[in-house]
Structure 1
Amino acid sequence: MELGLFLGCNTPAIRPDVERAIRLTMPKLGVDLIDLEGYVCCPAFGTFPSTDEDSHLAVSGWNLSLAEQKGLDLLVECGSCYSSLRVGRELILHDEKKRARVNELLQPVGRTVEGKSKVRHITDVLYNDVGVEKISKSIDKPLDGLHAVVQYPCHTLFPSELVGFDSPPARPRIMRELVEALGAKVDSFSREYQCCGGAGGFHGTSAAEARGFAQTKFDAIKSETQADFMVVSCITCLMFLDNVQKELSEGNGKYDIPVFDYNQILALCMGFDPKQVAPICTVSRDRILERF
């Protein structure tokens, strides 16, 4: 299986360890990653998608055209990238007038787009194409005895008719089953399906409210679970939920739950070097990494 790798902006620029984990784990599971040279920002919600549909679809169309040229579907980890590209693709594919307008905008740079290339989130591919059985068989160091909680990328859930692949979207299960495939017990908690609070439109304009949003999540985790660590599959969730705990710990008690991207924890279970796939963090991961 070959997929065009769309890394977005934050992963290669700020969290290259996540990129490395993705590049190491996916081929081991039979997913060959093809780089899309020349891709640009998705663009993220809170930018063009919120203010200028033509610009949103033109940028999405550029990125989609790179995959179309190679005859590939796109593989995306970031929830915001996934949703922006997925919505863009649906509009380009199914609305003839919008598709014509996008191609008019792309014509000066010599590109065209039809919307043929699908946009796939990495957890969708891992669950529905690779499968939890194959993942379980691929690991050498299971997470036996550890408790985890999961954070679902909310942009992969809603609007479900456009972006959804987990059912039902109000009670998704894919992340839970993917983590269980690695041997950990996944604990439930009351704020499990709540947005992380870190999306740019929210955190960028209402930072205090975003921190409060995250605090309610971590307070629920602390009081309702035995979680040793958290697993996410969105670079925005990863950066925000890791970084915000330092801010919350200043006068609000201790918040110290290690946060991993799914492909990072998968890479560790496969036996890859922690210094290569999980070195960057705000909250110490030492108590988890020491078992690897």
Structure 2
Amino acid sequence: MRFGLFLGCNVPAVRPDVERAMRLTLPRLGVELVDLEGSACCPAFGTFPSADENAALAVSAWNFSIAEELGVPMLTECGSCYSSLRLARRKLLEDSVRREAVEHLLAKAGRTFRGTVEVRHVIDVLYSDVGTDRIAASLDFRMDGIGAVVQYPCHTLYPSETVGFDNPAGRPRMLRELVEALGASVRTYSREMQCCGGAGGFVKGSFAGASGFAFRKLRAVLGETDAEAFVVSCVTCLEHLDRMQVELEKKEGLERGIPVFDYCQLLAVCMGFDPAEVASISAIPRDGLVSRIRRARPG
């Protein structure tokens, strides 16, 4: 399996340990990662698509053209990148007038969009192409006896006809089963399908509204479960749910914090990679949980 790794902006800028975790774990599972040199922002909905959609689509098409030139599908962890690129690809394939305008812009930079590239999310690839059995067999340590909750990136679920690879109409299962493959017991909670509230435009437009989304979700997890880990698969969810626990502590106090991990970070810890490399950046301390995981060997 060979994929062009599309990091987007936030992973290398604010959570480089997630990038490191992906670069270490995926090749061990047979996923070859190719750098998309020269790639740009996706660009996400909270940036300039609202000001100039054709220009925004041209940036997406620029990224597509790099992957097409290399002959690889694109792979991303970021929910916003995933949905932005999937929706851009659909618009370019279905709207010939808009595509012509975008191709005119691309031609000025000496690039072309063929419309052949696929865009995949890392959770889809890990579940559908790698499989939970292979993941379980790759572990040096396990999460046996540890309860976890999951957060599905809303941009990987809706609109389902364009981005959905799981089961948004019912209950998505891929991330849950991938976490269970690490040995954890996944708890359910009432706000599992709620957005984290971390979208950039939302946070900047109404911090009270965005934090309120996260507070309600965090209160549900803390009040309804005994989870010791919050597992996500989107850098926005990771950053927001981590930082909002600090804000909730300031607002009303917290009996306990729940460390938030990207799935690839937990996978890397369970594979035996150095936590200082793959899970070092967080507002809520992770050291205690990581130490417990590293004492639990398979079998």
* Structure 2 unmatched runs, 5+: 295-299
**For residues 100 and 77 of structure 2, what CA distance do their matches in structure 1 show?**
29
* Residue in structure 1 matched with residue 297 of structure 2 by the alignment: none
Instruction: Report Cα offsets for 1:34-56 as digits up to 9, x if no partner.
Output: 00000111101112233322012
| Cα displacement string for residues 232-280 of structure 1 (whole angstroms, at most 9, x for unaligned residues) | 0100111111111111101312151100000000000101011111011
Q: Which amino acid aligns with 1:98?
A: R
Structure 2 residue aligned with 1:155: 155
CA distance in 1, matches of 2:51, 2:230: 34
**Match of residue 140 from structure 1:** 140
Structure 2 counterpart of 1:289:
290
Can you list the C-alpha shifts for 1:138-193, whole angstroms capped at 9, x where unaligned?
A: 11101000000000010000000111100244521111011011100000000001
State the match for 2:259 in structure 1.
258
| Alignment: residue pair count | 292
Partner of 2:148, secondary structure, is: strand
The aligned residue for residue 43 of structure 2 is: 43
Q: Which residue of 2 aligns with 1:81?
A: 81
CA apart distance, 1:74: 0.1
Structure 1 residue 23 corresponds to structure 2 residue 23:
yes
Does the 8 A contact of 2:158 with 2:168 survive in 1? Answer: no
Q: Look up the SS of the partner of 1:75 in the other structure.
A: strand
124-133 or 42-51, which deviates more = 42-51
Q: Which residue of 2 aligns with 1:270?
A: 271
Q: TM (normalized to structure 2)? A: 0.95
8 Å CA contact 1:15–1:280 kept in 2: the answer is: yes
CA contact (8 A) 1:170 1:193 kept: no
Paired letter, 1:188: T
Q: RMSD between aligned alpha carbons?
A: 1.0
> What is the alpha-carbon distance in structure 1 between the residues aligned to residue 168 and residue 86 of structure 2?
19
Does the CA-based 8 Å contact 1:228-1:257 persist in structure 2? yes
Q: Distance in 1 between matches of 2:62 and 2:151?
A: 30
Measured in 2, the distance between the counterparts of 1:168 and 1:19 equals 27
TM-score by length of 1: 0.98
Partner secondary structure for residue 99 of structure 1: helix
Equivalent residues in 2 for 1:70-109, closer than 5 Å: 70-109=70-109
Aligned partner of 2:165 in structure 1 is: 165
Residue aligning to 2:231: 231
Distance 1:66 1:153 in 2: 26
2-structure distance, mates of 1:178, 1:289: 18
Q: Give the residue type in structure 2 aligned to 1:225.
A: T
Q: Distance in 1 between matches of 2:171 and 2:195?
A: 13
Inter-partner Cα distance in structure 2 for 1:251 and 1:31: 43
Find the aligned partners of 2:179 and 2:230 in 1 and give their Cα distance: 10
Report the Cα distance in structure 2 between the residues aligned to 1:195 and 1:219, rounded to whole angstroms: 14
Partners of 2:277 and 2:269 in 1: CA distance = 10
> Do structure 1's residue 279 and structure 2's residue 274 form an aligned pair?
no
Unaligned runs of 5+ in 1: none
Contact 1:90 1:115 in 2 (8 A): no
